[in-house]
Chain A
């Protein structure tokens, strides 16, 4: 039964997430890194999970892969014994949402009032908050993101933002349109001073511009700019607001600036080539990413060619 549930989820995980079908999850460790305030980062396989914990329970950002759920819960239990109350999906890709159902089941939400429109019984599990476009894709009758209803978001929002007050701090779930996908959100823990970015910022690969799901290079740059604008460092480019990336190591302003710098410079180079009428093949041959390839071009699922092609098509189609 468990395999029957897990396999369709794994297979539906899109091609723009790190490949996991062949992964041996039994060898994956889920490690805990304290960030600051009430916030921790879980590192395993798939996207990083952000954990905020306190007397109200546990708030999660993203859920990695379902086969890791037991290890994720065990890691959370080293931080807090409280119930998992909320989960935020930063975007639809399977490496960030594949564990939705399992982690939701591991939690419970206080229901009643108008919350009963989302969840009738606390035994149904934790609330899953996400932008409406994620639910639209997950609940579609057909499509690469279609998943079983128990993995769907239970509490969606449209517009710019959804706010929650939990464990003594305001939490902003902020939608950034047409960037990585059309359903991206970042999560800002205001008192702990931590931003969880999903795949709008990573340290391991070039920006993944998922054109088929509404992503665009200029939207991605606008999202990075928004993150930069929210960060207040202690001095220079360091300390102060901490940033949990979708993949890779814990960061602060300096790292986000370096990533924004890279993204804008490569966008400008490819835009110049598009303006000159160069074909995609000519653009690739010109190696517009050469100086950043040692850092970001080694990703096996989103290498240089795919990135250059996505930027080219995004600019050629003039997607905002």
Chain B
């Protein structure tokens, strides 16, 4: 009997060892800001599309975008989509396991920003049919690649690549990797968008495990901030957005480069950059 108990214990230890190949991501993480601070909190400048593999359709969309759109009550509480919300604030991750078998059913996330939550299904279920509802957080399934959690998300609502009008369509598929080194979590998102990107767009954000972190609620109430006629959508007609010139002029970046495109992602572009004319500095008004 004693030997049997020991054997059972040994088997349990071995099984636990196997399971530990799957990192437990559970915990509360604080956002870690480094060189990506300007992108993650203040947000990008109007007309800054550098390093984004966008196509002509996405560029026109961005050039037409007017930040006044966000004053409309129906846009004020719009949550950030799953491929953009990692820019902000803190997150909580927890597991959902079957009580009896202890099989992993799902990994859940709560985001302090806008209070969004998402589920990453780990039980092998299929994605819904295309005619099912699309949401800001999409439908996610995950699997372990060694100690890296890899996630595939479909059924996304229209979203954005950056907060300056660069769109991400509802046709996009987002792939994610969660890589944990001790208390450090790197969250990689790779966006494949056949409508607006010519190549996948890759972005990483960092978080740090923080056991004492308490997240606040994030209620949001829409109000009329600017009285506008019903049915008015703030936007710039093509060729009339005078703000587009400010970013390249302020930083002395060639206008062509500021317009982005896949070419601007790669180191070789630095050679071309040297040959492009720089815009005149901004005139002080």
Contacts and interface: CB of A to CB of B under 8 A. Distances in A.
B36 interface: no
B148 interface: no
Interface in B105-124: 114-115
Contacts of A41: 131
A292 B79 contact: no
B133 A265 contact: no
Contacts of A255: 134, 157-158, 170
A31 B233 CA distance: 36
Contacts of B235: 265, 268
A258 B169 CA distance: 11
Interface stretch (B58-66, B90-98, B199-207, B265-273): B58-66
A236 B167 CA distance: 18
Contact of A253 (B74, B158, B230): B74
Contacts of A160: none
B133 A252 contact: yes
B164 interface: no
Interface in B236-253: 237-238
Given A31-B131, A254-B78, A294-B194, A272 B237 contact: yes
B57 interface: yes
Contact of B220 (A235, A242, A254): A235
A250 interface: yes
A72 to B, nearest CB: 16
Contacts of A250: 131-133
Contacts of A106: none
Contact of A254 (B132, B158, B195): B158
Contacts of A309: none
B126 interface: no
B210 interface: no
Contacts, number: 103
A294 B74 contact: no
A269 B64 CA distance: 10
A284 B115 CA distance: 44
B77 to A, nearest CB: 4
A235 B157 CA distance: 15
A75 to B, nearest CB: 13
A124 interface: no
A13 interface: no
Interface residues of A, number: 39
Nearest to A263: B233
A290 B231 contact: no
B75 interface: yes
A106 B136 CA distance: 40
Contacts of A274: none
A261 B75 CA distance: 11
Contacts of A260: 231, 233
Contacts of B61: 291-292
A30 B237 CA distance: 42
Most B CB within 10 A of own CB, among A41, A248, A249, A269? A249
A254 B74 CA distance: 9
A295 B195 contact: yes
A218 to B, nearest CB: 9
Contacts of B157: 237-238, 254-255, 258
A269 B233 CA distance: 12
A251 interface: yes
A251 B133 contact: yes
6 closest cross-chain pairs (CB), A and B: A294-B195, A291-B61, A291-B60, A236-B77, A249-B131, A264-B233
Given A236-B220, A251-B133, 13 more contacts: A235-B115, A237-B157, A250-B131, A250-B132, A252-B133, A257-B74, A261-B233, A265-B64, A268-B233, A293-B57, A294-B55, A294-B57, A294-B169
Interface of B: 55-58, 60-61, 64, 69, 74-75, 77-79, 114-115, 129-136, 157-158, 167, 169-171, 194-196, 220, 230-233, 235, 237-238
25 contacts: A31-B129, A31-B131, A33-B129, A33-B132, A228-B74, A235-B79, A236-B77, A251-B134, A253-B74, A254-B157, A255-B134, A258-B157, A258-B158, A261-B233, A264-B233, A269-B237, A272-B237, A290-B56, A291-B60, A292-B57, A293-B57, A294-B57, A294-B171, A294-B195, A294-B196
Interface of A: 31, 33, 41, 43, 203, 221-222, 225, 228, 235-238, 242, 248-255, 257-258, 260-261, 264-265, 268-269, 272, 286, 288, 290-295
